[in-house]
Structure 1
Amino acid sequence: MICGVDEAGKGSVIGPMVVAAVGCRAVEDLAALPIRDSKALRPKQREELYGVIFRDFAIAIVTIDAAGIDDARSRMSMNACVAELHAEALMGLRPEYAYVDACDVNAERYGRTVASHLDFPCAVVAEHRADARYKIVGAASVVAKVTRDRAIRELEQQYGKIGSGYPSDPTTIGFLRDYIREYGNPPPCARRSWKTVANLYQTTMQDFP
């Protein structure tokens, strides 16, 4: 089996990070699918591809929530956390070959790190922008992105509009600021170890004692 692995939500301040692995017998199995980096697809396209991928290919998904990320970051770097989760997703499929989207500036080192967490032989190839280079990684990107988007929609049912969850989103920042002002603490869905959240807490509590 050949696998591709990618994650969604690594840099978000709200919600989970989702890692997905997609496996196939041969790369040609994906030739007919219009798969590329999930960020380059429209939401409807991602949902349609998600259904096809789940129907026709092996899938493994690992999700870590905000509290889990905060706990992991108290013990390791974010890149080390992602490497462990990439390996965990691969453990669900146990392929002979794997292509992963590198989260380290040194792609080869990242590949070695992922491989070191596996308990089975697997040739791990890590590259930057692997989701745009390899369809199998692009497929994993689609699964991870759709799974995370659904999780964000579930959070919106609980909290109201929270935006995309990323620090560049004014809706997300506005939600965090309003929640902190009302409740005196960041919401449980926020990653408290992120500087964005810590800074918002400090400035908001100063403005609204």
Structure 2
Amino acid sequence: MGRKLAGIDEAGRGPVIGPMVIAAVVVDEDGVPKLAELGVRDSKRLTPKRRERLFDEIIKLVDDYKLIELWPDEIDSRGGTLNEFEVENFIKALNSLKVRPDVVYIDAADVKEERFGEAIAGGLDFRAKIVAEHRADDKFLPVSAASILAKVTRDRAIEKLKEKYGEIGSGYPSDPRTRAFLEAYYREHGDFPPIVRRSWKTLGKIEAKLKNGVEKKKGRRSLEDFL
């Protein structure tokens, strides 16, 4: 048996709709080549169907894993920055692992990789070598495996929301389908649905746009008003 290697990553940090999901996995060093044989790689390089197939295979192969879903109300009520919130929940996920890793590979969200890694190391209740790097999901297979678990879990959550709310798109502010859904919902209800992150500027912009449109309509006067 080799060293125990952990990988941790998130999915859904940027969307305005739905959860951010954090996934941590622990795999024996000897199991890493098996991850490669399965075709594990950065989740963004895989199709949704391929990620779904790999999800169960990864869970069978790893020694331990932890998934945390953080919904909009938790994200909105955080005390600090999004990076600090991510550090806090990365620590929570890693400390929840029953199999303690010797090395932890982290996909660093901070512009300063070392600072991100040190912040997480300071909160762990076990000792391990910390490797925090940008694009770690593309460099280290344990992080690639975690990225797949996180992405599939978020995708499943979004599909459940679609069953209730209809077409909501990907949930990202840049997605025209997502913006169309939010605008339509606001027009109908005068507010946004409970599945949104209210601290995101996207909502304020949509609200201002729609209210401005209403004001413009109110401000228009027909020719008959002058007759």
Q: TM-score range by the shorter chain?
A: over 0.9
Decide which moves more: 128-137 or 175-184. 175-184
2:17 aligned residue (14, 26, 30): 14
Of 26-35 and 95-104, deviating more is 26-35
TM-superposed deviation, 1:205: 2.6
**Distance (Å, rounded) in 1 between the aligned partners of 2:129 and 2:206:** 43
Spell out, residue by residue over 1:124-165, the C-alpha distance to the aligned partner (whole angstroms, 9 max, x if none): 210000000011100000000000000000111111100000
8 A Cα contact 2:40 2:145, kept in partner: yes
CA distance in 2, matches of 1:168, 1:120: 40
Separation in 2 of the partners of 1:97 and 1:30? 17
The corresponding residue for 2:52 is: 47
Unaligned runs of 5+ residues in structure 1 are none
Q: Tell me, what secondary structure is at the counterpart of 1:13?
A: coil
SS at match of 2:169: coil
In the alignment, does 2:160 pair up with 1:154? yes
User: 1:87 and 2:91 equivalent?
Assistant: yes
Residue of structure 2 equivalent to 1:180: 186
Gaps spanning 5+ residues in structure 2: where? Answer: 216-227
Partner of 1:102: 108
Higher Cα Rg, which structure: 2
- How many angstroms does 1:96 deviate by? 2.2
How far apart are 1:59 and its partner, in Å? 1.3
Aligned partner of 1:65 among 71, 76, 91: 71
Q: Flag as ranges the 4+ runs of structure 1 deviating above 3 A.
A: none
Partner residue, 1:189: 195
Partner Cα distance (1:36, 1:17) in 2: 20
User: Partners in 2 of 1:21 and 1:164 — Cα distance?
Assistant: 23
Query: Residue type of the partner of 1:103?
Result: A
Alignment-derived partner of residue 201 in structure 1: 207
2:205 aligned partner, one-letter code: N
Instruction: Give the Cα–Cα distance (whole angstroms) in 2 for the partners of residues 115 and 202 of structure 1.
Output: 42
**1:23-55 Cα distance to aligned partner (Å, 9 max, x none):** 111133423221111011001110111010112
1-side partners of 2:147 and 2:136: how far apart? 10
Identity %: 47
User: In structure 1, what residue type is equivalent to 2:89?
Assistant: L
TM-score if structure 1 supplies the norm length? 0.95
1:118 maps to which of 107, 114, 124: 124
RMSD: 1.2
Q: Distance in 1 between matches of 2:105 and 2:39?
A: 19
Counterpart amino acid of residue 109 in structure 2: C
